Chain A
Amino acid sequence: MTEGVVTLKSFFEDARAGHLTGIRCTQCHGLALPPKEFCPTCQWRQWEPVPLKGSGIVTSFTVIRIPPRGRVPEAPYAVAVVRLDEGVSLLGRVVDIPLEALQTGLAVKFRPVVANDQTIIGFGPA
């Protein structure tokens, strides 16, 4: 049941290499992001990895001006909710887009951001 499983670790390793990998339910074909055992829609327990193109539009965003500990030098920075072309959404740090140019509906493209050896999801200009 677990062959082809996408873990959080493998998802972020793929992301670091520039690829987004979702999971698709082999029964109802619902698309999701890991981790999932059961499909939330049909309760099936078999998924297959599916490459995502990484392009989408901003559906909401914020500019963090009071950051948590350790992030102070990075502030202000923007975090956006992006609906990917395939239909799933993903949150990411906005990079290479001026804060004042951000708006909902803006087309963006995934890019990995690696800082302190941690990979995070980034979105830059489409």
Chain B
Amino acid sequence: MRRVAVIGVGITKFGKHDRTSTELFAEAAADAIADAEIAPRDVQALYYGNVTGGPAERQLHMGPLAATSLGLPTIPTTRFEAACATSHAAFRHAVMEIASGVSDVVLVGGAERILNVPTDAATEYFAYCSDASYEQSLGLTFPGVFALIARAHMDRYGTTEEQMAHVAVKNHRHGVLNPKAQFQKEISLETVLRSPYVADPLKLYDCCPFTDGGAAIVLAGEEVARKRGRAIWVLATAAAADTMFLHEKRDLWRVAATERAALGAYRQAGKTPAEVDVVELHDCFTIAEIVATEGLGFFEPGLGGIAAEKGWTSVGGKIPVNPSGGLKAKGHPIGATGAAQIGEIVTHLRGEAGARQVDGAGIGLIHTLGGNTATVLVSLLGRD
């Protein structure tokens, strides 16, 4: 299989937009194509991600709509849906299309528009990513799913609400330096701890926001990428799955799919967690970051909360996690999130992240989790 590289990145401002999701994607994609220094006609396929367009925008068949909005109506498209891991799943398939030699240049990414509907409707649509019979029927929400995980982690390891709050404070501090972030505002530990419960033990500031936004990546095969000085190589891209049913999870305090995807990615790349310089991981809730730092092998099981408290995951700490501000501060347009995380890591590996640059970053890891921990993607990127 031939090598694949990211040659272009585009991300819209995250927040509230008065544009459709496919318009948002088209802006990000045009930026990515410009960044890649290719002609639009060089793109041979689009792998497009979106989750809630059906109920929130009454729109299906979004692949060709995205391509049409971009001005490339004749490229073949496929739409992906893998809950919050959607565009990272699309990325993996796009990498395989190039690695196999089918195409030389592929556009991949996604977008979400959800702030056009009331919060209770958005909460309902996101809950569609959990099982209808056993979970949605109970009125279980996504904060509720991660609250069940948080309680189990607290019981098992003594993780505290204050440790979780440190994740939110750190990611908001990082987000201040990201001009694309939904929230560029520091928050205090007290602000998090005094915020109202959404789903005990998770409070409002333990939760990422609803967000509109789009993100896009241009991928190319080695022959095209070699001609570009800013190419960032795909060292590994691994997918793992676990039972969809929360009632079948073996240990609620772990995310088995994260552990398996990480193992697969480290093996593919021939790397270890200690060799990773910068990480974008899926902090949809503060507890999710804590569990992910354990599952990805950066800390022993049970030490993720302590790592957050001690600042080990801050930029400048042992392993910089979510320099973008993460889903918590940057925002979480679910169909765009994976591509946006990949874009952030590419920006650091190129040394173009400005005030938030993780100095000397040579290897970056991206972790994206979908739904009730049933889908996880982990990719590793590196400089030449």
- A-B pairs with beta carbons under 8 A, tally: 101
Interface segment, one of B30-38, B117-125, B178-186: B117-125
B134 at the interface (CB under 8 A from A): yes
CB neighbours (8 Å) of B245 from chain A are 33
CA distance A84 to B118 in the complex (A): 37
Beta-carbon contact of A69 and B155 below 8 Å: no
A104 at the interface (CB under 8 A from B): yes
- B353 neighbours in A (Cβ, 8 Å): none
Q: How far is the CA of A79 from the CA of B135 in the complex (A)?
A: 9
Measured between C-beta atoms, what is the minimum distance from B169 to chain A in Å? 22
* Separation of A30 and B152 alpha carbons in the complex (Å): 24
Are A121 and B120 neighbours in the complex by a CB distance under 8 Å? Answer: no
- Contact, CB under 8 Å: B199 / A62: yes
Q: What 1/0 mask marks residues of chain A from 56 to 100 whose CB sits below 8 Å from any chain B CB?
A: 000111111111111110110101010000001111110000000
0/1 per residue, A5-27, Cβ < 8 Å to B?
A: 00010001000000000000000
Cβ-defined partner of A64 (8 Å) among B134, B137, B140, B243 = B140
- Residues of chain A lying within 8 A (CB to CB) of residue B143: 62, 64, 66
Query: What is the bound-complex CA distance between A118 and B197, given in angstroms?
Result: 28
Expressed in whole angstroms, the minimum distance between the Cβ of B294 and any Cβ of chain A is 17
A90: B residues at CB distance < 8 A: 134, 247
Contact of B196 (CB < 8 Å), options: A65, A68, A71, A104: A65
Q: How many residues of B contact A (CB 8 A)?
A: 37
Distance between Cα atoms of A64 and B151 in the complex (Å):
13
| B148 contacts A61, C-beta separation under 8 Å | yes
* Closest-CB distance, A108 to chain B (whole angstroms): 14
CA distance A60 to B121 in the complex (A): 26
Bound-state CA distance A62–B65 (Å) is 40
Inter-chain contacts of A91 with B (CB < 8 A): 134-135, 138, 140, 246-247
- The complex places the Cα of A113 from the Cα of B19 at a distance, in Å, of 42
Partner of B151, one of A67, A74, A104: A104
For A77, the closest partner residue in chain B by CB is: B139
**Interface residues in B111-170 (C-beta closer than 8 Å to A):** 118-121, 123-124, 127, 133-141, 143-144, 147-149, 151-152, 155
In this complex, which of A59, A62, A90 has the most chain B Cβ atoms within 10 angstroms of its Cβ?
Answer: A62
Would you call B303 an interface residue if the criterion is a C-beta within 8 Å of the partner chain's C-beta atoms?
no
Task: Select from chain B the residue with minimum beta-carbon distance to A66.
Answer: B198
A120 at the interface (CB under 8 A from B): yes
Q: Is the CB of B139 within 8 A of A89?
A: no
Whether the Cβ atoms of B141 and A67 lie closer than 8 Å is yes
Chain B residues with Cβ below 8 Å from A70 are 120, 124
A residues less than 8 Å from B352 (CB atoms): none
Contact of A63 among B134, B199, B243 (CB under 8 A): B199
In the bound assembly, the distance between CA atoms of A74 and B140 in angstroms comes to: 12
Q: Which residues does chain B contribute within 8 Å of A64, judged by CB atoms?
A: 139-141, 143-144, 199
Which of B245, B246, B247, B248 is most buried by chain A, counting CB atoms within 10 A of its CB? B247
One digit per residue, 1 when the CB lies within 8 angstroms of any chain B CB and 0 when it does not, for chain A 29-46 equals 000110000001000000
Residues of B within 8 A of A69 (CB): 118, 120-121, 123-124
List B contacts of A63 (CB < 8 A). 197, 199-200
Partner of A93, one of B121, B138, B248: B138
Q: Which 3 A-B pairs have the closest CB atoms?
A: A62-B147, A68-B124, A69-B120
- Chain B residues within 8 Å of A, Cβ to Cβ: 118-121, 123-124, 127, 133-141, 143-144, 147-149, 151-152, 155, 196-202, 243, 245-248, 252
Known: A62-B202, A65-B197. 13 other contacts (CB 8 A): A33-B134, A60-B149, A60-B155, A62-B143, A62-B151, A64-B199, A68-B123, A68-B136, A69-B118, A79-B148, A81-B148, A93-B138, A118-B137
